[in-house]
Structures are given as C-alpha cells and as structure tokens.
Chains A and B, each alone.
Chain A
Amino acid sequence: NAGVTQTPKFRVLKTGQSMTLLCAQDMNHEYMYWYRQDPGMGLRLIHYSVGEGTTAKGEVPDGYNVSRLKKQNFLLGLESAAPSQTSVYFCASSGGLNFYEQYFGPGTRLTVT
C-alpha cells in the first residue's frame, strides 16, 4: 500500500497563475483533508471531504477550491495564486472505525513569486 500520495512535490508559480494539487489514497478512507503548514502556525485545515462528491470549508478556505469526484482522490485548486499562498500543503485521510486517526501524505512545497 502506498498510503497517501501527493503530486507534485515542489512547484513554483507566478502571481496570478493557477494550479491543481492531487492527493490520492489507497486505504478506502471516507474522509480526506487539505492542510497548509506555515512556520509557527502548525497545520491549518483548508477544506475537507466526508465522502465522494462532498466537500466543506475548513479554517482557511479563501483562495482555494477542492473537488472529490472519486473516493480515492482529493484535488486542491488555486485559481489565481498569491504570495500569501506560499506554504507547504499536506493531504490526509481517515476512515473506518479509527476515523479520528489521520494519515498524512509527504507534502507539496509551493512557492508563489
């Protein structure tokens, strides 16, 4: 099992450009999450999903959109990147009886210039 994978690992964008981050999990988990990690601020929840076709806003959703067309995939989109979105992005998933225990991907380091 690969667990949770994220694509790409690194990306540099210019202000105003768009991109999509892909998260995939092979554990048949119902719940999936997108976080951003910034120094001194821990992880903050951007958006999450409780199942295929459903999404919801987290703590810091502005400037991001998400989609969950397939149970195993959770996409995070930036329509018009801003320097404030420079961060490390982590995807996580959870499910089953231990739905509260989250498994994390390796992260995507995004720089917006």
Chain B
Amino acid sequence: AQSVAQPEDQVNVAEGNPLTVKCTYSVSGNPYLFWYVQYPNRGLQFLLKYITGDNLVKGSYGFEAEFNKSQTSFHLKKPSALVSDSALYFCAVSPSNDYKLSFGAGTTVTVRA
C-alpha cells in the first residue's frame, strides 16, 4: 500500500521569500506524484504532477517540484511567495499502474505581507 507524509502541519513565510513544502512517499514500483492546493471553502485544484522524465516539474502559479527517487521525496517550491499563495497544500501518490490516489494530511501555508 502507498502512503504520503507531509512532515509540517504549517509553513509560515514572508512575502517575497522562497517557499518549500515537504513531501515524502512510499509506493511499490514507479510513483506518480501530485500536488494539489485548496483555498478556503473550495475544492482541490491541481498544481503539478510527476509521471516520468525530468525530475524538476513546473506547474501552475509559478510552483515547481523536484522528484528525488533516492530520498523518496517530492518537495513543492516557489522562488518568491505571494500572500495569495496562502492555502492548504496536499501531496498525493499513486503507483504507476493505478488510478487511486493516496493523500498526505496537508500543509497549511501562510504568507505574511
């Protein structure tokens, strides 16, 4: 069975500073990895995914994530955070032959002006 760990419940950064949200995973075989964002009282929105190829993937709103197979990690990054990036972020994983996702517990990001 697959699982995802997001070790930080909360991340606080100042606007303009780099933002990192951590994610590690456990899965049999090759992983498909995803980041979703949830704004207050809204559903989850897809940010980016890693399926295969380049370990650095770029997504929506200036976010990127780096797949590290040896460390089984898929950290989300943004070089310069905005106040509007404040939201709840979820990392998710599935085995390459499956369509069901396993989600982490989520990390609340607060960007202060």
Contacts and interface: CB of A to CB of B under 8 A. Distances in A.
Interface of A: 4, 31, 33, 35, 40-45, 48, 50, 58, 90, 92, 94, 99-107
A92 B103 CA distance: 13
Interface in B88-108: 90, 94, 98-101, 103-106
Contacts of B45: 104
Interface of B: 4, 9, 32, 34, 36, 41-46, 49, 51, 90, 94, 98-101, 103-106
Given A42-B90, A42-B106, A102 B101 contact: yes
B46 A103 contact: yes
A105 B32 contact: no
Contacts of A50: 99
Nearest to A58: B100
A41 B105 contact: yes
A62 B49 CA distance: 31
Given A45-B100, A101-B49, A107 B43 contact: yes
A58 B105 CA distance: 17
